[in-house]
């Protein structure tokens, strides 16, 4: 092969390697789970009631709230994204639970996307519970609520003492939600 041929081959290989590098390092880092269902119903040690209640949430309009703003006996924190297929499938169950237990349960969505995409999705799906931006706080939220895998969807159910009583990785059904809520109420 000529020197020009070697140079073209090397240049081609570098372009391919660069493309692979860009693809790998620019893809979202959150795992999306469709099949795997991991459930843990053992109560978790609270970080400290004061600490968990002070966790800040930024709503889709940029306003800051804290977990302690909600006084319902049961809080459900649901990690989701509009592009996550199992997240989309579980939204009707979450809507039904929020409607059925409106005075006893508050669902808080923790969205892994832009405010615009989340608001559009919430409107299209008729979501009756608020969502908040994960933003740069993804690691903190994952650590606090027990999402060790970083997978979506992920749900944590919290009792009135603000102890995490149940976590679930993967799509949740309405029957499981009702069952876990009834254990707390």
The pTM of the full predicted model, rounded to 2 decimals, is: 0.74
pLDDT single digits (tens) 130-170 = 999 998 888 899 999 999 999 999 999 999 999 999 999 99
pLDDT digits (tens, 9 = 90+) for 6-26: 655 655 544 454 444 444 344
Q: What is the pLDDT averaged over residues 57-71?
A: 95
Q: Other C-beta atoms within 10 Å of 32: how many?
A: 17
pLDDT higher for 30 or 143? 143
50: its two tokens: 């004061």
Q: Across all residues in the chain, what is the average pLDDT? A: 83
Left, alpha or beta for 146 (phi > 0: left; psi -120 to 50: alpha)? left
Could you tell me if residue 23 is left (phi over 0), alpha (psi between -120 and 50 degrees) or otherwise beta? alpha
What residue has token string 């660069």?
18
pLDDT value at residue 11: 55
CATH no., domain 33-184: 3.40.30.10
Task: Kindly tell me if the per-residue pLDDT of 63 is higher than 90.
Answer: yes
């Amino acid at each position: 092969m000529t020197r020009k041929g070697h140079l073209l081959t090397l240049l081609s290989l570098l372009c391919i390697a660069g493309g692979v590098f860009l693809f790998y390092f620019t893809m979202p880092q959150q795992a999306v789970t469709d099949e795997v269902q991991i459930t843990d119903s053992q109560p978790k040690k609270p970080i400290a009631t004061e600490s968990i209640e002070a966790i800040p949430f930024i709503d889709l309009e940029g306003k800051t709230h804290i977990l302690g703003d909600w006084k319902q006996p049961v809080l459900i924190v649901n990690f989701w994204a509009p592009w996550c297929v199992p997240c989309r499938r579980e939204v009707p169950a979450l809507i039904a639970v929020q409607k059925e237990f409106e005075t006893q349960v508050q669902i808080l969505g923790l969205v892994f996307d832009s405010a615009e995409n989340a608001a559009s999705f919430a409107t299209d799906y008729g979501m009756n519970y608020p969502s908040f931006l994960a933003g740069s706080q993804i690691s903190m939220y994952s650590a606090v609520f027990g999402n060790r895998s970083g997978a979506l969807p992920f749900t944590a159910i919290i009792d009135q003492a603000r102890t995490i009583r149940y976590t679930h990785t993967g799509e949740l059904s309405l029957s499981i939600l009702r069952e876990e809520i009834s254990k707390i109420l």
